[in-house]
Amino acid sequence: MNELPAHAHVVTGEGVMNGTVIVDGDRIAGIEETSGEPDGWVIPGFIDTHTHGGGGYSFTGGNAEQARQAAAFHASRGTTTVMASLVSGSQDFLLEATKNLKPLYDDGTIMGVHYEGPYISPERRGAHDPSVLRDPSVEEAKQLMAAADGSAKMMTVAPELNGAVETIEYLASQGVVVALGHTDATWEQTVDGMDAGAIVATHLCNAMRPFKHRDPGPIPALLDDERTISEVIADPVHLHHGTMQFIFDTALPTWVHLVSDAMDAAGLDDGSYKLGNLDVDVEDGTARTKDGAIAGSTITLLDAFRNAVHLGKQSVPAASAMASEVPAETFGLTDVGTIDPGKRADLLVLDNDLELKGVMRAGEWLDAA
Q: Same domain for 216 and 354?
A: no
Are 90 and 216 contained in the same domain?
yes
Q: Which of 88-97, 133-142, 191-200, 250-259 is least confident?
A: 250-259
Over the chain, what is the mean pLDDT?
A: 95
Q: Are residues 158 and 222 in the same domain?
A: yes
Number of structural domains in the chain: 2
Mean pLDDT of 158-169: 98
**Residue 369's domain is classified under what CATH number?**
2.30.40.10
DSSP state of 255: G
Report the distance separating Cα 38 and Cα 329, nearest Å.
29
* Structural domain boundaries enclosing 78: 46-332
Secondary structure of residue 63 in the 3-state scheme: coil
Q: Are 172 and 136 in contact (CB under 8 A)?
A: no
| Together in a domain, 217 and 354 | no
pLDDT tens readout for residues 168-216? 999 999 999 999 999 999 999 999 999 999 999 999 999 999 999 999 9
Same domain, 353 and 229: no
CB 164 within 8 A of CB 134: no
User: Is residue 200 domain-shared with residue 107, that is, in the same domain?
Assistant: yes
Residues involved in catalysis: 261
Asked if residue 241 has pLDDT above 60, the reply is yes
Q: What is the pLDDT of residues 122-131, one digit of tens each?
A: 999 988 999 9
Q: Are residues 7 and 75 in the same domain?
A: no
Task: For the sheet with 113-116, list strands across it.
Answer: 84-87, 113-116, 152-157, 177-180, 200-201, 229-233, 256-259
Picking from 323, 330, 333, the residue whose alpha carbon sits closest to that of residue 354 is: 323
Q: Distance from CA of residue 45 to its chain's centroid?
A: 13
- Are residues 316 and 359 located together in one domain of the fold? no
In the prediction, which pLDDT does 292 show? 87
For residues 210 and 353, membership in a common domain is answered with no
List, for residues 322-354, the tens digit of each pLDDT value. 999 999 999 999 999 999 999 999 999 999 999
Does residue 270 register a pLDDT over 60? yes
Distance between CA 116 and CA 134 in Å, rounded? 13
d(CA 257, CA 230): 6
3-state DSSP call for residue 130?
helix
Nearest to 273 by CA among 242, 296, 256: 296
**Position 2 pLDDT exceeds 70:** no
Residue 233 has pLDDT above 60, yes or no: yes
3-class state of residue 176 by DSSP:
coil
pLDDT digits over 288-330, tens only?
988 888 989 999 999 999 999 999 999 999 999 999 999 999 9
CA angle, 333 then 347 then 75, to 5°? 80
What pLDDT score does 252 carry?
77
- Cα–Cα distance, 181 to 217 (Å, whole number): 12
Question: What's the one-letter identity of residue 60?
Answer: T
Where residue 202 sits, what CATH number does that domain have? 3.20.20.140
Per the omega criterion (within 30 degrees of 0), is the bond before 118 cis? yes
Buried b (16+ CB within 10 A) or exposed e, 260-296: bbbbbbbbeeeeebbbbebebbbeebbbbbeeebbbb
Q: Are residues 123 and 242 in the same domain?
A: yes
Same domain, yes or no, for 297 and 270? yes
Per DSSP, the chain holds a count of helices (H) and strands (E) of 10, 21
CA distance 339 to 70: 25
118 & 251 share domain: yes
β-pair type (356-361, 347-350)? antiparallel
> At 279, is the pLDDT very low, low, confident or very high (cuts 50, 70, 90)?
confident
221 sits in which H/E element: helix 218-224
